[in-house]
Amino acid sequence: MTTGELQRLRTHMTSTLNALIFLIPSILLQYTMPAGSIGVNYGLNGNNLPTPAAVVQLYKTHGIQKMRLFCPNPQAQQALERTNIYVSLGVMNRDLPSLARSQTAANEWVKNNILPYRNTHYQYVTVGNEVIPGPFSQYVAQAMRNIKTALNNAGLSHVRVTTVIATSALSISFPPSAGAFSAESLPAITAVLRFLEEQGLPNNVLMVNIYPFFAYAADPQHVSLQYAQFTATGNVVIDHGLGYQNLFDAMVDAFYSAMEKAGGRTVGIAVAETGWPSAGKGEQFTSPALAQTYNKNLIEHVRRIGTPKRPNDHLHVFIFAMFNENQKTPPGVEQNFGLFYPNGQPVYNLAF
């Protein structure tokens, strides 16, 4: 072998090795995240919260594997680099029109908000938060498409693109098999589900917000505390042969039913928000003990099994929220969903 040929071989081997080094983290990202995993929302509606670097350290100290950021946060994203925390990063609602109209805008969003922190483990980009139904809903599906194209072009095809919807998008939620989207929500949801169906497994995931607390607090005569907190000892609801011992499963399965009716038969669900406040409405409804019971049982349930409708589909779930945020409105319940006080002390003990 000549000197020139040897040099070309060394160059080829070096290029191949560099390519593998780049690809391995992306491959591991897709396959090492445990099914039925739990994360926590990191909200910033407080004027007394720790620095983002301190918050990331708090996640690491308590073994919290996933963080949901509602919007880009350079300080947090920088602190998250080279950690084992998986991140869901939100696109702000106000950006949806421009991202839907322009692939260039989507490319710039990824360039500015993802690529500078490429050593962060991004699992999801959520394009819009609770905008369906509403005036921004018409932009969601196309903005999702453009963001996904931008991620693919940047070598980040493993990052899942989705949106977050609330139970207000449903017109029927009980019984779970009757779940259906409202007429106002249906056009935008159908477009979103069409995009997600095209992505195929395991990338076709819709994020939803599930709050048994609000159903219980609104109607405690008909929604028992045990059903809301995973503590019922038997089935509370029987629906077409499926037994429901907790409201969380019933609410998730209502979304599954609605999605099937709207053309999303293979689309999965991740829970973007769920939780229980520790104060704000009286001890019958809110206390540290009640919040601890709900979140403890939630973690155990999600790690063990899926829902009656899809028992083998384990859910990725984000608890709301990391801190009691004193600028959340209205005052009361909304300011008391945190697992921690702003000084970093736990509101109650919870094992991750």
- The overall average pLDDT reported for the chain is 91
User: Based on the domain organization, do 60 and 12 belong to the same domain?
Assistant: no
Is 343 inside any structural domain?
no
167 with 218: CB under 8 angstroms? no
- The mean pLDDT of 215-223, rounded to a whole number, is 97
Confidence of residue 36 (pLDDT cuts 50, 70, 90): low
Distance, CA of 252 to CA of 255 (rounded, Å): 5
Query: Is it the case that residue 245 has pLDDT exceeding 50?
Result: yes
Is 342 inside any structural domain?
no
User: Based on the domain organization, do 86 and 135 belong to the same domain?
Assistant: yes
Q: Calculate the dihedral angle through the C-alpha atoms of 195, 197, 201, 207, rounding to the nearest 10 degrees.
A: 60
User: Based on the domain organization, do 20 and 66 belong to the same domain?
Assistant: no
Query: Is it the case that residue 271 has pLDDT exceeding 80?
Result: yes
Is 350 inside any structural domain?
no
For CA atoms 244, 174, 250, 239, the dihedral sign is positive
Reduced to 3 states (helix: H, G, I; strand: E, B; else coil), residue 66 is: strand
Give the predicted TM-score (pTM) of the model: 0.90
* pLDDT tens, residue by residue, 79-137: 999 999 999 999 999 999 999 999 999 999 999 999 999 999 999 999 999 999 999 99
**Domain span including residue 6:** 1-32
User: Based on the domain organization, do 245 and 172 belong to the same domain?
Assistant: yes
User: Based on the domain organization, do 183 and 93 belong to the same domain?
Assistant: yes
User: Based on the domain organization, do 19 and 145 belong to the same domain?
Assistant: no
pLDDT at 29: 40
Is 348 inside any structural domain?
no
User: Based on the domain organization, do 258 and 201 belong to the same domain?
Assistant: yes
- The mean pLDDT of 264-280, rounded to a whole number, is 97
Number of separate domains in the chain: 2
Distance, CA of 67 to CA of 123 (rounded, Å): 10
pLDDT at 35: 54
pLDDT at 37: 86
User: Based on the domain organization, do 86 and 69 belong to the same domain?
Assistant: yes
CA distances from 187 to 95, 205, 240, 246 (A): 20, 18, 28, 30
Q: What percent of the chain has pLDDT over 90?
A: 87
* pLDDT tens, residue by residue, 160-187: 999 999 999 999 999 999 999 999 999 9
- The mean pLDDT of 27-41, rounded to a whole number, is 61
CATH number, position 106 = 3.20.20.80
User: Based on the domain organization, do 44 and 162 belong to the same domain?
Assistant: yes
Catalytic site positions? 130, 273
User: Based on the domain organization, do 74 and 10 belong to the same domain?
Assistant: no
Is 346 inside any structural domain?
no
Is 20 inside any structural domain?
yes
How is residue 352 written in tokens? 């991750």
pLDDT at 11: 43
Query: Is it the case that residue 61 has pLDDT exceeding 90?
Result: yes
User: Based on the domain organization, do 48 and 1 belong to the same domain?
Assistant: no
* pLDDT tens, residue by residue, 281-309: 988 999 999 999 999 999 999 999 999 99
User: Based on the domain organization, do 130 and 262 belong to the same domain?
Assistant: yes
pLDDT at 202: 84
pLDDT at 261: 98
- The mean pLDDT of 303-329, rounded to a whole number, is 96
Query: Is it the case that residue 228 has pLDDT exceeding 50?
Result: yes
